[in-house]
Amino acid sequence: MNRHGHDLDRAAATLASAAHLVVFTGSGVSKESGLATFRDVDGAWAQYDPMDYASPQGFRRNPQGVWEWYAQRRQQMLEVEPNPAHLAIAALENLIAEVTVITQNIDGLHQRAGSSRVLELHGNIHRYKCSRHCRGEPTYLPTPDPFEETLQPCPYCGAHARPDVVWFGESLPPDVWEAAAFAAMTCDAMLVVGTSGAVEPAASLPRYARQHRAFIVEVNPETTPITQIAGAALRGPAGEWMPALLEAVRDIHDAQA
Ligand code: BV8
């Protein structure tokens, strides 16, 4: 990894002068914590059909199977730790006046790393709700034991309980989406870390930012549709590039002090 790449210097200079940074993340930011991504060759969708395991239809067809898949992922997410990428993203809050993390991930690792403003577009695996919203949408339920592998009923109405995550064909939480779109349209810079940009409407956020003249930095070993609107690309694992980027921003900060 070339520590002094032009893209790193351009990215660091942009972040050092930003008043409001948005960090938009996907499952790639959690890869070095040991969690699978979705569309990589070893990703979740290589084993599980998303329409069977991440859609309301799939849950209706096989609630026990979907429950088990989420229970197994939740156990894993509790066993792993935030990695250097999550920690560097959280540490940027000490150098930039306003940092908003917008994540597609449901693992809660940004919060565990210390990020203080996290918008979870696709929900959180550690929260459960009634699948019938029997007391209003959403009807949150007590979080079951992560090792509970048997589908649980809503204690209020008996319908199936389910993880509070957004499945394909479901709308994103309106308040979260609104805050995320506003942050994307008003930030000075957006750091896009570990996402293939394959899922809408989340994948539109970098375009919103670019349309409002934000500088886009992409951190990803691969190119994606977002690459073409990025002013700098750090081509490699987030766990390596994010600490280097944090250090480079800190160097600029210290030199200006
Ligand atoms: C919606 C659940 C409006 C939680 C997820 C037909 C019917 C209905 C909707 C649609 C339709 N056709 C299209 C749509 C829209 C659909 C969509 O976008 N489909 C795509 C696939 C074509 N979207 C929706 O349905 C959304 N809702 O549109 O509502 C509506 C309402 C009613 C009726 C109609 C419409 C809801 C989308 C949310 C789906 N839920 N997950 C969970 O179980 O996790 S999606 C899933 O994809 C995750 O949330 C994930 O975060 C997200 C995006 O994936 P990525 O995070 O980017 O992961 P991926 O594996 O793809 O990429 C990883 C990247 O990391 C790669 O680039 C890789 O190179 C990189 N990487 C790898 N290692 C590293 C790394 N980067 C850095 N460091 C490393 N070490």
Range 90-118 average pLDDT: 98
Residues 6+ apart with CB under 8 A from 36: 27, 42, 43, 44
Give the per-residue pLDDT at 185. Answer: 98
Instruction: Assess whether 245 and 182 both reside in one domain.
Output: yes
Q: Is 9 in the pocket of ligand 1 (CB under 6 A)?
A: no
Is residue 122 flagged as an active site residue? yes
> pLDDT category, 163, cuts 50, 70, 90?
very high
Q: Is 237 in the pocket of ligand 1 (CB under 6 A)?
A: yes
For the chain, how big is the Rg over CA atoms in Å?
19
Would you say residue 3 has pLDDT above 50?
Answer: no
Look up the pTM and report it.
0.96
Instruction: Assess whether 130 and 155 both reside in one domain.
Output: yes
Do the beta carbons of residue 122 and residue 99 sit within 8 Å? no
Annotated catalytic residue, options 4, 122, 126, 133: 122
Which domain covers residue 226, as residue numbers? 1-35+82-122+172-257
Element (H, E) at 20: strand 20-25
Instruction: Assess whether 109 and 209 both reside in one domain.
Output: yes
Give the span between the Cα atoms of 206 and 185, in whole angstroms.
9
CATH number of the CATH domain containing 153: 3.30.1600.10
Q: Can you read off the two tokens belonging to residue 202?
A: 């989340």
In the three-class reduction of DSSP (H, G, I as helix; E, B as strand; rest coil), residue 193 is classed as strand
Do the beta carbons of residue 164 and residue 61 sit within 8 Å? no
Cα of 198 vs centre of ligand 1, distance in Å, is 6
Residues 6+ apart with CB under 8 A from 156: 130, 134, 135, 139
Q: Is 200 in the pocket of ligand 1 (CB under 6 A)?
A: yes
Give the per-residue pLDDT at 18. Answer: 98
User: Probe ligand 1: pick from 129, 195, 199, max atoms within 8 Å of CB?
Assistant: 199
Instruction: Assess whether 202 and 236 both reside in one domain.
Output: yes
pLDDT digits (tens, 9 = 90+) for 189-234: 999 999 999 999 999 999 999 999 999 999 999 999 999 999 999 9
Residue minimizing CA distance to atom 57 of ligand 1: 195
CATH number of the CATH domain containing 184: 3.40.50.1220
pLDDT digits (tens, 9 = 90+) for 15-26: 999 999 999 999
Give the per-residue pLDDT at 47. Answer: 82
Do the beta carbons of residue 95 and residue 189 sit within 8 Å? no
Element (H, E) at 110: helix 109-113
Would you say residue 135 has pLDDT above 80?
Answer: yes
Give the span between the Cα atoms of 233 and 1, in whole angstroms.
13
Give the per-residue pLDDT at 44. Answer: 80
Range 124-141 average pLDDT: 97
